Amino acid sequence: MNEPDRIRRALETAETVAVVGCSPDPSRASHAITRFLMEQGYRVVPVNPNHSRILGLTSYPSVGAVPASVRLDIVDVFRRSEAVAGVADEALARGVPFFFMQKGVVDPEAAARLEAAGIGVAMDRCILVEHERLGIPPKSRNSN
């Protein structure tokens, strides 16, 4: 868990990031980080049961509701720690390769289940901070 090399590989190879708890409110961190990910060239899939569109993108009520035809490379969670277990179950069911729990989001049991299934985990880490700290270049705009 929180292995810099594994985080780097996930960020470098990922094309699509599901942002769970994505907010339409520009003052919220999840909104700003979603916008950052989009600017970096990732395809972003907002997940929020209270909104059908965020940042001009279709938003889904859960990771499990994202169409199976959409490959998810990273699930990035902006939810309270007690909500992580359910999101982790959905990520496990989809075989998502990497699971990010944002700063302040901690669930060691969910992290252990994900890792036991071969899914990489970053816990209590900000995807934007990690992206910048590791010097990940923007994706080619042609890859979207």
pLDDT for 31 = 96
β-sheet with 120-122: strand ranges across? 43-47, 16-20, 74-77, 98-101, 120-122
pLDDT tens digit sequence for 44-62: 999 999 999 999 999 999 9
Q: Residue 21 belongs to what H/E stretch?
A: none
Is the per-residue pLDDT at 143 higher than 80? no
| pTM of this structure | 0.94
Instruction: Report phi then psi at 43, rounded to 5.
Output: -80, 125
- Mean pLDDT for all residues in the chain: 95
Determine contact, residues 59/52, Cβ cutoff 8 Å: yes
pLDDT for 140 = 73
Contacts for 84 with CB less than 8 Å, ≥ 6 apart: 77, 101, 105, 106, 107, 110
Q: 26-45: string of b/e by CB count within 10 Å (b at 16+)?
A: eeebbbebbeebbebebbbb
pLDDT tens digit sequence for 87-119: 999 999 999 999 999 999 999 999 999 999 999
At 144, is the pLDDT very low, low, confident or very high (cuts 50, 70, 90)?
A: very low
Residues above pLDDT 90, as percent of the chain: 95
